[in-house]
Amino acid sequence: MSAGAPRGAGGGSTGRGAGGLRASLAGLTTRGRSFLAAGVAAALCAYVLGQGELLRVGLLLAVLPLLCVLALHRTRHRVSGSRRLTPMRVPAGSEARVQLRTENVSRLPTGMLMLQDRVPYVLGPRPRFVLDRVEPGGRREVSYRVRSDLRGRYPLGPLQLRLTDPFGLVELTRSFSTYDTLTVVPRTEALAPVRLTGETSGYGDGSRRSLALAGDDDVIPRGYRRGDDLRRVHWRSTARYGELMVRREEQPQRSKATVLLDTRAVAFEGAGPDSAFEWAVSGAASTLVHLLEQGFSVRLLTDAGTSVPGDGSAFEKWGGTSGGQESAAAAGLMMDTLAVVGHSDGAGLTRAYDAVRSGGGHGGGAGGDGLLVAFFGDLDDVQAEVAAKMRGRCGAAVAFVLDSAQWAGRPSRAQERVGRLRDTGWTALAVPPGVAFGELWRQAGNAPLGTGTSGGRG
């Protein structure tokens, strides 16, 4: 990005007409206005009293700031600037480094410059840097760090340059036109590689196998070729075509998992980094990262029925292939979604159940395969029943139940809801305040089918 002084954002020239001059006059500092007022007052007094010496002093005081305005207005400096944000996606509580670079691309040296970047207050104080004279073609680099304990997407910029005269009487501000965005994602925990009941590994033994749909050896049964394994001979096709035919190759398919996040506003109380909802968001993020590392094809599902990555072709693009780039892109997309996820206005889990039942192109439908990891808020009798029915659509299901009453220290019915889920085959665990998710994850891996614990404090 580039800006000029007195050229506008993007390097466009600032006009020399009345409008540009008025803008320059508006840049008079307190000192400049004081000089101008003192000069006018001295000139009036000199006229009334007939003092010629005082009149010269008054004219000097009044003309000096006006000369600085004119000189600054006619200055032909061009200054380019850039910002580099590293990294552009950070976990909550971690720092990102912002590097600012300015370059004087004009033929004249600049005066003193003040460089200022606009940042949201949650990222810290607004950074300001004073740059001394920059020679023609000269460059200056400065940097600062930003940090936020709250997840979200935060704009950085636009960058501003303040140009002042040597006397400090006039100060003009020019803004650059571009900005960057810092994405603060939820904190994640490293999870132990446990084996959840009913779960298959991401690849290899135990993974569901399906017929491949592409490749020379993966079309309809073909004729026998020298060197083919005789165990692959398809005798029915051989009898039909009258020649030796070989079966299609079978290839492993990635095991699939769904992480369900309950975002209903009625299901959670409180806000802030230590709230139950933020615990659930962080737990969902940790689960997503862990399952992707284990080779699963993962999607994020909310109570509103929204799936990330999307269904069908979107799933095939982001999570349905074995390529590391696709998995990384899917992880980034889901983490970006969790960075800005908030409470929904929904009152029930019906849409989420419909998405689990249909499978959404994710293999979690009537086939009965796939892992479901759910993070529930408050569950009444009706919603507990809906959640219980989700178990029948999945190969394995683990639920973490966060009850607002329990987190607030009030009498809770969390164990009753957890028991209802266990009775239908869920591995269900109640989440008390202050517990580490990694500990609950290990407990879920050690729990037999349809059971759970109340969780311990981490």
User: Is residue 364 within 8 Å of residue 375, measured between CB atoms?
Assistant: no
pTM of the model: 0.75
Cα distance between residue 360 and residue 15, in whole Å: 58
Q: For 254-269, what is the mean pLDDT? A: 92
Residues 6 or more apart whose CB falls under 8 angstroms from that of 153 comprise 181, 182, 183, 184, 336, 339, 340
The confidence band for 14, taking pLDDT boundaries of 50, 70 and 90, is very low
The token pair at 187 is: 């904190």
Residue 341: pLDDT over 80: yes
Alpha-carbon span 326 to 344, nearest angstrom = 29
Q: Which neighbouring-strand residues pair with 210?
A: 251
Has residue 91 got a pLDDT over 70? yes
pLDDT at 117 over 70: yes
State the chain's maximal CA–CA distance in angstroms: 127
Q: Nearest CA to 251 among 299, 203, 318, 285? A: 203
CA atoms within 13 A on the CB side of 194: 19
Inter-residue contact 73 to 21 (CB < 8 Å): yes
- Cα–Cα distance for residue pair 37/33, rounded to 1 Å: 6
For residue 232, give both structure tokens: 């692959």
Prior bond of 87 cis (ω within 30°): yes
Q: Token pair 């200055």 is at which residue?
A: 75
Give the side-chain half-sphere CA count within 13 A for 383.
Answer: 20
Highest-scoring range by mean pLDDT, 52-66, 210-224, 298-312: 52-66
More confidently predicted of 402 and 231: 402
Q: Which residue has the higher pLDDT, 123 or 320?
A: 123
Total residue count of the chain as it appears in this document: 458
Contacts of 310 (CB under 8 A, 6+ apart): none
User: Which tokens belong to 178?
Assistant: 């571009």
Beta strands 180-185 and 89-91, pairing class: parallel
pLDDT at 17 over 90: no
Cα–Cα distance for residue pair 149/130, rounded to 1 Å? 29
pLDDT of residue 328: 79
Angle between helices 414-423 and 381-390 (to 10 degrees): 30
Closest CA to 391 of 356, 418, 419: 356
Cα separation of 152 and 182, whole Å?
8
User: Nearest 5°: phi and psi at 239?
Assistant: -65, -35
Q: Does 415 have pLDDT greater than 50?
A: yes
3-state secondary structure of 91: strand
Q: Please tell me the distance from the alpha carbon of residue 374 to that of residue 288, in angstroms, as a whole number.
A: 11
Average pLDDT of the chain is 81
Task: Tell me how far apart the alpha carbons of residues 340 and 186 are, in angstroms, rounded to a whole number.
Answer: 9
- Listed ranges 11-15, 101-105, 369-373; the one with the highest mean pLDDT: 101-105
